[in-house]
Structure 1
Amino acid sequence: MKALVLAGGSGTRLRPITHTSAKQLVPVANKPVLFYGLEAIAAAGVREIGMVVGDTHAEIEAAVGDGSAFGLQVTYLRQEAPLGLAHAVLVARDYLGDDDFVMYLGDNFIVGGINGIVERFTRDRPTAQIMLTRVGDPRQFGVAELDASGRVVGLEEKPSVPKSDLALVGVYLFTPAIHEAVAELKPSWRGELEITDAIQWLIEAGLRVESDVISGYWKDTGNVTDMLEVNRLVLESLEPRMAGEVDTVSELIGRVLVDPGARIVRSRIVGPAVIGPGSVITDSYVGPSTSIAADCVITGSEIEYSIVLPRSSIMGVRRIESSLIGQDVEVTPAPTTPRVHRLVLGDHSKVQISS
């Protein structure tokens, strides 16, 4: 079995961060979302990966390399435009050959990995196997309809009137039969080749499509709210670590990770939180569910439930929460004082904030 990892797309819901960064490389708990997916694929015993990349291919390739760091062998496949998930399968046709494969969306996060579904697919070998989860607003997702016995009888992409609350999770397993389905597709109303249409084609052809309804945690990390929630979840699962320097008057409470080269001076850190290598926290408060990446400077400030990317500085600002701050950002005081600041800042930004 091979894997097809989708790491293209423009990441419009994470603007302005994704003007300068690939959405799959935005970190949670100081590790890119994409890396969690690669680790899950490797843990499931899959070793060969075709990675579909787009305009951010150089950044993705620099981060992942040949895949050896993950125990994988990665082949990059260029998709000239984000024309749908089924289009990515079309792009990868020659690479996939006649192998079964798991398709994994690189900006998805699934607690518990994919070992179970890969094992079931390998054992039972239906034509396709999909993962489903119940969601509050299925209109934002591909939606599955099941019959009384739990068999998949229909799929629809982002329906205005959903037939169920079961959304497709970004992991699919296919036999080579999917290639015939993809070859028959026409672009949808969105101008894309939809993988839901391809699976529907298999169903209408009388082929077996199985599903697993997962009860664990899944997020499509395509927007700031979901990124912050995944960051919180991952931080809560990490073990405390003290590899940096903490002075005697600072206070660390709960699950806190301080990486090598980081320094905590006259500050209070309440976990779960991670302070990246080389970062310096001085006269500040870092609250729960916060990830501070490498080489950041936080002085005389308060921040919680936020993600700060590398080499950014926050100086004399009270108070920041629920924020995603890009690389090389400078946040400094301005004349007036709002009680709370909510920020989504692109790389190399310079912002003045009242304090």
Structure 2
Amino acid sequence: MKALLLAGGTGSRLRPFTHTGAKQLLPIANRPVLFYALEALAAAGITETGIVVGAHEQEIRRAAGDGSAFGLRLTYLYQDRPLGLAHAVHIARDFLGDDDFVLYLGDNYLSEGVTAFVDRARQQTASARLLLTRVADPSAFGVAELDDADGTVLNLEEKPEHPRSDLALVGVYAFTPDIHEAVRAITPSARGELEITHAVQWMIDRGLTVRAETTTAPWRDTGSVDDMLEANRHVLDRLAGGIEGKVDADSVVRGRVLVAEGAVVRGSRITGPVIIGAGTVVTDSSIGPYTAVAEDCSIEDSAIAHSVLLPGARIAGAPRIEDSLIGRGATVVSGPRLSRSHRLVVGDHSKVHLTS
């Protein structure tokens, strides 16, 4: 079985961050989202993986390399425009050949991985297998309607106005070569894309077996700031702490805190779970909980919680920052008479002055 990992797309919901980088390389607990997907595929026993890339191809190539660091062999497949998941399957036709394969959206975080899902796909014959989860607002997702008797899929809809169930597609699929005929048969949707839901529905309408299973494990489509922060919390909950950098005697560290080699903490309070990257300097500040600070950041006389800082960010004199994503090289400094908390979404290389 092969895998097809999607790492193209524009990441419009994560602008301005995705103007300067791939959304799949934004970090969860200081590691790119994409790496969690690559590790999940390797853990499931898959070695041959195609990565569909777009405008940020070179950046993703530099990060993932040939895949050997993950136990994979990677083949890069260029998609000049994001024309839908089924279009990605279409351009990967030669790579996939006549093999069964897993389709995995590279900006999805699934805490339990995909090993059990892949094992069942190998053992139980079906033209397609879908992974689902229950959501509060199914109208924002692809939605499946199941036969309660045997779990086969009766109907799929893409972001329906009136959903028939609360079971949303997670972004992990398993297919046999039957999918290729379906992809050739469908036409673009109203938004100009070849929808994978339309291809699977084509299979259902022609009597092919499509099965689904439901997961209750934490899952996030990390396409928005809020989902990025929530995925960061899930990963930090599993953090194994360790002090590899320098923490002076005037600092207090509580809970699971990882201070990377080369990081320095002076006169500060760190409340885990927190990860502090190499080269970062924290001075006279309060950090955490649920905060990931990337490498080469500077935090001085500030308080930060439930947030993610990208490499090179600088924070000074901020009395309280919460639920925020601070971009690469961004600067947040205080103005006079600060008294309130602030929630920030700050793009790469930007500069923010806080005032009362």
Question: Could you state the TM-score of these two structures normalised by the residue count of structure 2?
Answer: 0.98
Shift of 1:125: 2.4
Which whole-Å CA distance do the structure 1 matches of 2:144 and 2:282 have between them? 48
In the aligned structure 2, how far is the partner of 1:352 from the partner of 1:146?
A: 52
- The answer for unaligned runs of 5 or more in structure 2 is none
- Write the distance in 1 (CA, Å) between the matches of 2:93 and 2:29: 35
Tell me the CA shift for residue 354 of structure 1: 2.7
> Are residues 50 and 323 of structure 1, via their aligned partners in 2, closer, same or farther at CA, if it must alter by over 3 Å?
same
Kindly, what percent of the aligned residue pairs are identical?
59
Q: Is 2:321 aligned against 1:320? A: yes
Q: Residue 91 of structure 1 corresponds to which residue in structure 2?
A: 91
Equivalent residue, structure 2, for 1:117: 117
CA contact (8 A) 1:25 1:33 kept: yes
| 1:317 positional shift | 1.2
Question: Are 2:296 and 1:284 equivalent residues in the alignment?
Answer: no
Contact kept? 2:314, 2:332, Cα under 8 Å: yes
CA contact (8 A) 2:218 2:234 kept: no
The 8 Å contact of residues 20 and 346 in structure 1, kept in 2 or not, is answered as: no
Aligned to 1:58: 58
Asked if structure 2 preserves the Cα contact closer than 8 Å seen for 1:49 and 1:75, the reply is: yes
After TM superposition, where is structure 1 displaced by more than 6 Å over at least 4 residues in a row?
Answer: none
User: What letter is aligned with 1:267?
Assistant: S
Question: Which whole-Å CA distance do the structure 2 matches of 1:310 and 1:338 have between them?
Answer: 27
Partner of 2:212: 211
Superposed displacement of residue 336, structure 1: 5.2
What are structure 1's unaligned runs of at least 5 residues?
none
Residue aligning to 2:174 = 173
What is the rounded CA distance, in whole Å, between the counterparts of 2:93 and 2:339 in structure 1?
A: 54
For 2:188 and 2:23, locate their aligned partners in 1 and report how far apart those are by CA, in whole Å: 25
1:167-206 to structure 2, matched below 5 A, reads 167-206=168-207
Contact (CA 8 Å) 2:67, 2:74: kept in 1 or not? yes
CA distances 1:207-251 after superposition (whole Å, capped 9, x unpaired): 111111111111101001111011011001011111011001100
Residues 275, 293 of structure 1: 8 Å contact kept:
yes
Output aligned runs, 1:207-286, within 5 Å: 207-286=208-287
Query: What is aligned with 1:132?
Result: 132
Asked if residue 80 in structure 1 is aligned to residue 85 in structure 2, the reply is no
2:107 maps to 1:102: no
Match of 1:41 in 2: 41
TM-score normalized with structure 1 length: 0.98
Q: Give the distance between the partners of 1:197 and 1:335, measured in 2 at CA.
A: 56
For 1:26 and 1:33, locate their aligned partners in 2 and report how far apart those are by CA, in whole Å. 6
Deviates further, 326-335 or 96-105: 326-335
Confirm or deny: 8 A CA contact 1:17 1:344 kept in the other structure.
Answer: no
- Give how far 1:334 is off: 2.1
The alpha carbon displacement at 1:337 in A equals 2.8
